Amino acid sequence: MSGEIVYTVPEGIVGVDNRGGVTVADGSPITLYTTAVMPALQVYRVSIEIDAHAFVSGTVTYTVTWTENTVSQTAIVTATALNVVTGIVRLAMPDANTAITVQLTGSFTATVRITAIIERLV
């Protein structure tokens, strides 16, 4: 096939953060995946979700960050009440050799479940 692009990384899930019973913010971002040398046409699905199983006060923020066309991009979800599931799905075309990270932040008294999945689509 003429013009076919051969990828060294197969399609599918390349990064997962799936934590339950979380009661404190992350100290620093966690790298879920670092893109390949040439991701020019690679497309990723970034899925992120948060749910507070116990909630007293504050705001819990869960963020996925990546770099696209040299600009920082984010997908952000927050929890401010008990048992309200908040999620978002974004498509991303991150720059070569850059990290896709997650971080839980905020000042809160709560217990949350957080999930982020990074999937390489093409």
Report how far residue 76's alpha carbon sits from residue 74's, in angstroms, rounded to the nearest whole number. 6
Hey, which residues does 102 pair with through a beta bridge? 30, 64
Q: The pTM is what? A: 0.88
Q: In this predicted structure, what is the pLDDT of residue 1?
A: 43
Token representation of residue 51: 């749910």
Report how far residue 115's alpha carbon sits from residue 41's, in angstroms, rounded to the nearest whole number. 26
10-residue averages of pLDDT along the chain (122 residues): 53 94 97 80 92 95 96 96 94 92 97 96 84
Phi, psi of 119 (to 5 degrees): -120, 130
Domains of the chain, first to last: 20-120 (2.60.120.1120)
Token representation of residue 19: 């934590």
Q: In this predicted structure, what is the pLDDT of residue 63?
A: 98
Q: In this predicted structure, what is the pLDDT of residue 5?
A: 52
DSSP class of residue 38?
-
Q: In this predicted structure, what is the pLDDT of residue 42?
A: 85
- Quote the radius of gyration of the chain (alpha carbons, Å): 16
Q: In this predicted structure, what is the pLDDT of residue 75?
A: 96
